[in-house]
Amino acid sequence: MRLLGWLALALLATLGIGSIAAVATRGSSVVELPAGFWSVLRFTILQAALSSALSVACAVPLARALARRNFVGRNLLVAALGAPFLLPSLVAVMGVLAIYGRSGSIQTFLVWVGMPTFNIYGLSGIVLTHVFFNLPLVTRLILQGWSDIPGVQFRLSAQLGLRAGDIFRVLEWPMLKRIVPGALLLVFLLCSTSFAVVLTMGGGPKSTTLEVAIYQALRFDFDLAAAATLAVMQVLVCSVALASVALTQGNVAFGKTRFAVQERWDAKSNRHILADLSCMVLAVLFLLPPILAVCTRGLLPIFSGLPAGVWQAALRSVCVAFSASAITLIIGLATANLLDELRGANSRFGKVLGVIGFLPIAISPFVLGTGLFILINAIADPFALALPLTTIINASFCMPLALSALLPAFAKARERNFRLAQALNLQGWTRFRIAIWPEIRRPALFSAAIAAALSMGDFGTVALFAPPDGGTLPLLMQRLMASYQMDEAAGVAVLLVALSFGLFWLIDRGGRFGNQI
């Protein structure tokens, strides 16, 4: 078990440091930056900053409304907010286009009443789609902050006659001050490395991000040096953002935490109720129609015949998802077990090693991809290895998520069962099976489930490597969209969503089935 842990860490370190080294050596030989480099960098930061600011600004009132109102369907609504994180990014793009796009419902209506239309492509479309993705995530993050305020403190406030403004100052502002910076940075990080959204929503060279530029350099210009330089910049941007992200926070946003409702005596007036109600209605109106639009459009093609090659692509996608999920599970468990043992021994060395597991956050999938591309290109044809590479990159990208779920679970298992295990002289594998596995089964399979769903919907890495025929479902969907076969694309989208959420449900279910704890 321990040996496996060292192997896993070594593998992660090689992947992370190796790819950084590869892009750094390859990129540093270029003195001049690729054409348009500064505008790409500026746009990357601009769209990420706008997306994170807007997501958080909208999430705060929504989270507050959910924190203080109880109604039938509240739990369903909160649970549904966890779903967009698992939604394949291309499906979200398609949904947003179906509502806000050129021939979407809103523009069609505007034309019908004779109002001027707008262009969704470019900055506005990218930010809109990013908010669509991240608003629910941030809402859950902040809602957790609200639920963590002890309910009795609101009773206390009511008794002391504190009004809404006082309560904001005394209870809510300190909580927001603690949570919002991390949330902002998390969204910034996710948006600065987002690929599918920018590729499909971007309006030409003016709205290109580093990731898309890397893709173009590799795929179209085959300019490894330029790609490497861009990748180095991408690492820098992410590292700067990462420097202050609290790693543990990400877990809350899509975990299965219970979000308690708090009774609020300061918000019983109609004005407050109306404000909260409109927040929730607006959120549902923003989030639901795009998904419904894809589903209604895609249901018919599902029965009337999907495009050729769809089942092969689906099979490839499922294979990639299952392998990535298994790799995440095995490497995650081995690494977490080792890190936890080192932490138990209070080793400083262990803390340093712990950083390796979180390296993939700073290295976007594309940087890892570029690095591997450069390394493999020297000895073999990277395009021939498209699917294994995609699997490995997806799995390593899920590693920080898995570790942030697994490490606390290991620590808890240690605290609860370790002394007993020592007293009974349980060692190695037996100890893991009896004292640790029952405690960590749920978070372990939950991370595996997330890895499966994210890999299923991944469009970035696979686009970087895959040959024209032999891609996965998202790749097929993107080709259909690019050739304006929207009905077929919607059909593939529905299949993709069903498979993503189906795999997630199946694997996550395994963590809960027959679990007595």
Partner 1 sequence: MEIRFDKTTLQLGLFRIDADVRFPAGKITALIGPSGSGKSTLLAAIAGFVVPKSGSISIGSREMNAIAPGLRPVTMVFQEHNLFPHLDVSQNVGLGLRPSLKPSKAEIAAIDAALDRVGLLGMGGRMPANLSGGQIGRVALARALLRKRPVLLLDEPFAALGPALRHDMLDLVAEVQTEDALTVLLVTHLPDDAKRIAALTAVVSDGLVSDPVATGRLFLDPPNSLSEYLG
Answer yes or no: are the C-beta atoms of 468 and 481 closer than 8 Å: no
SS3 state of residue 511: helix
Quote the CA–CA distance of 130 and 458 in Å, as a whole number: 16
Q: Per CB under 8 A, does 270 bind partner 1? A: no
* Interface with partner 1 (CB under 8 A), residue from 221, 263, 415, 469: 263
Among 21, 53, 105, 155, binds partner 1 (CB under 8 A): 155
Q: Is 222 left (phi over 0), alpha (psi -120 to 50) or beta?
A: left
Task: For residue 32, give both structure tokens.
Answer: 């001049």
347 by DSSP, 3-state: which? coil
> DSSP secondary-structure letter at 34?
P
User: Token pair for residue 360?
Assistant: 């993939």
**378 sits near partner 1 (criterion: CB under 8 A):** no
Q: Which stretch binds partner 1 (CB under 8 A): 104-112, 160-168, 227-235, 346-354?
A: 160-168
Torsion of Cα atoms, 168 then 174 then 175 then 181, to 10°: 120
Given the rule CB under 8 A, which of 77-85, 167-175, 389-397, 467-475 is the region that contacts partner 1? Answer: 167-175
Query: Interface with partner 1 includes 160 (CB under 8 A)?
Result: yes
Phi-psi region of 307 (alpha: psi -120 to 50; beta: other; left: phi over 0): beta
Least separation in angstroms between CB 176 and partner 1: 12
Alpha helices in 345-465 (DSSP H): 348-362, 365-377, 386-423, 428-431, 437-457, 460-465
Give the nearer residue to partner 1 in terms of CB position, either 153 or 422. Answer: 153
Query: Does 427 engage in binding with partner 1 (CB under 8 A)?
Result: no
Task: Determine if 162 is a binding residue for partner 1 (CB under 8 A).
Answer: yes
Contact 117, 105 (CB under 8 A): no
Length of the chain in terms of residues written: 517
- For partner 1, the closer of residues 159 and 516 by Cβ is 159
171 near partner 1, judged by CB under 8 A:
yes
CA angle 258, 254, 101 (to 5 degrees): 125
Smaller CB distance to partner 1: residue 104 or 145? 145
Stretch that binds partner 1, among 37-45, 130-138, 148-156, 330-338 (CB under 8 A): 148-156
Q: Which is nearer to partner 1, 74 or 155 (CB)?
A: 155
Q: Which is nearer to partner 1, 152 or 285 (CB)?
A: 152
Contacts of 143 (CB under 8 A, 6+ apart): 63, 66, 67, 78, 259
DSSP 8-state class, residue 181? H
Tell me the closest approach of the beta carbon of residue 142 to partner 1, in angstroms. 17
CB of 418 to partner 1, least distance (A): 27
| Residue (17 or 170) nearer to partner 1, CB | 170
Cβ nearer to partner 1, comparing 72 with 152: 152
Q: Does 271 bind partner 1 (CB under 8 A)?
A: no
153 binds partner 1 (CB under 8 A): yes
Which one among 2, 42, 102, 163 touches partner 1, defined by CB under 8 A? 163
Residue 161, interface with partner 1 (CB under 8 A)? yes
Select the residue interacting with partner 1 from 38, 76, 159, 346 (CB under 8 A). 159
204 sits near partner 1 (criterion: CB under 8 A): no
Q: Does 72 bind partner 1 (CB under 8 A)?
A: no
The only residue of 150, 305, 309, 388 in contact with partner 1, by rule CB under 8 A: 150
Q: What sign for the dihedral angle of Cα 267, 269, 272, 278?
A: positive
Are the C-beta atoms of 358 and 398 separated by less than 8 Å? no
How far is it, in rounded angstroms, from Cα 282 to Cα 188? 23
Return residues touching partner 1 (CB under 8 A). Answer: 150, 152-153, 155-156, 158-163, 166, 169-171, 174, 263, 265
